[in-house]
Amino acid sequence: MRLRIVMLAVVAAGVLVGGAIGFGVRSGPSPVSGQAALGVAPAGGAQLVGTWVPAKPKPKHPSSFTVADAKGPSVDLYSAPDVPLRTMQNPTWEGLAVVFLVLERKGDWLHVRVSSRPNSMTAWIRTSQVSLRTVPNWVRIEIAAKRATVYNADTPLFSTVVATGRSSAPTPVGSFFVDGVVLLSDTSGPYGVAQVSVSGFSDVYQSFGGGTGQIAMHGTNNPALLGQGVSNGCVRMANDSILAMVRLAPTGTPVEIVP
């Protein structure tokens, strides 16, 4: 479980990361001649000219995602357009800027994922109260495999072994997003060098360490425990790996946590 975040430095996109991150470009299939592909010889001495390249399959995941950042001191949430729900204060009680992952747009309304209980909560907000931007990647955390992977569309960019929640305090499963990124001053502590806050909340802890029971990806001072289910619900990884996550998963980045 993440501790109450004390904002020491909001991470800029240019954080330098030690460790290997794979950005290899996967080349497409070699061109195949039309004659060879069809398996027939041209009749009457005719010549087949040109090549035939099989179409690439359409990616299952998009290569960019729309994110909404709160512009003013609050954002009004609606259960449906023009049906008031509640108001979110900006920044949060922890001093983090309010951000939403946009799921769809209808005119002046945005259907968004919200960092709030219940997990994977959605609401509608007005476009006039936010500014829009995009993020390129998404994160998949596999609890059984103890692995976190960053993707661009269907291409893996970075993957690392993690520790997840123990059986009595499991890491919640669902669709979330990154709602805060913070570098920590005490890099020797149990949370390592950084926290990447996720919009999911523990099903066991309503509060933890002065916080609201919200989970995060973070570093560790005990890498020997990676690959095990030992945390209070957070996702631990090596310090160089969390710095890679900081660079590749800015606020608004979708996070899918699967069993």
pLDDT in tens, 3-24: 555 444 444 333 333 333 333 3
Alpha-carbon distance of 252 to 207, in angstroms, equals 23
pLDDT in tens, 117-143: 999 999 999 999 999 999 999 999 999
Domain 65-135 -> CATH class: mainly beta
Q: How far is CA 140 from CA 44, 77, 156, in A?
A: 56, 27, 10
pLDDT at 210: 73
What are the sequence ranges of the domains in the chain?
65-135, 138-258
| Arithmetic mean of pLDDT, 239-245 | 99
Check whether 149 has a pLDDT greater than 80. yes
Domain 138-258 -> CATH class: mainly beta
Contact 30, 51 (CB under 8 A): no
Alpha-carbon distance of 75 to 70, in angstroms, equals 7
pLDDT in tens, 78-109: 999 999 999 999 999 999 999 999 999 999 99
- The whole-angstrom distance between residue 242's C-alpha and the CA centroid of its chain comes to 13
The first and second tokens of residue 142, run together, are 């596999």
Residue found under tokens 């989970």: 215
Q: Which residues contact 197 (CB under 8 A, 6 or more apart)?
A: 2, 5, 96, 178, 179, 180, 181, 182, 214, 216
The first and second tokens of residue 4, run together, are 């109450």
The first and second tokens of residue 128, run together, are 């006039």
Please write down the HEC assignment for all residues of 56-124. Answer: CCCCCCCCCEEEEEECCCEEEEEEECCEEEEEEECCCCCCCCCEEEEEEEECCEEEEECCCCCCCCEEE
